[in-house]
Amino acid sequence: MRSIFRCMMEDGYYPTFEKTHILFDLADNTAVVEYEEGVLSVRIFFSIDEDAYDLFLEASNAVMMDTFMVKPAVLDDMKNIMFSCEIPCDTAKEFRKFFPRCIERLTETLMMHKAEMKRLILAENVSSATISAAEDTFIMSSKGLKPLS
């Protein structure tokens, strides 16, 4: 972990070293770097907005189907989600080679998720507006109905 920390410092990431992980800023979020048994993991955690929970999960599933290195996972508390990119890495040289790719893929995936959320919210708003307009039309047209005699 110390050699990974040094590499990150040299590459300008300005990380913070903790006992079991390294923290650094990525795309306006705090990212976590962990290394265990030859696997480097870079993760970002988000809270799931309760009002948009279903949309958030739907967007996460869509992203998971379109990426092969970064996977979203809903955590046990069902209130948080993690985007994780994991790569094999045994040496500092491999870290320098693969870490930028991992960051690039993680950033791309976050942007894909954000775009999918916007698309889903827009679709939901359009759907709600269509239903509302149909209800208004029905109410207005039913006012003109005359009872059968």
Confirm if 98 and 108 have CB atoms less than 8 A apart. Answer: no
The pLDDT value recorded for residue 132 is: 53
Residues of the chain with confidence (pLDDT) below 50: 137-138, 140-142, 144-149
The pLDDT value recorded for residue 148 is: 45
The pLDDT value recorded for residue 136 is: 53
The pLDDT value recorded for residue 128 is: 67
The pLDDT value recorded for residue 60 is: 87
Residue in 43, 35, 40 with CA at minimum distance from that of residue 88: 40
The pLDDT value recorded for residue 146 is: 47
Full domain range(s) for residue 79: 2-134
Reported as type and span, the H/E element at residue 127 is: helix 92-143
Q: Is residue 148 domain-resident?
A: no
Q: Is residue 70 domain-resident?
A: yes
Give the CATH number for residue 110: 3.30.1460.10
How many domains does the chain fold into? 1
The sheet with strand 29-36 has its strands ordered as 16-17, 22-26, 29-36, 39-47, 80-88, 70-74
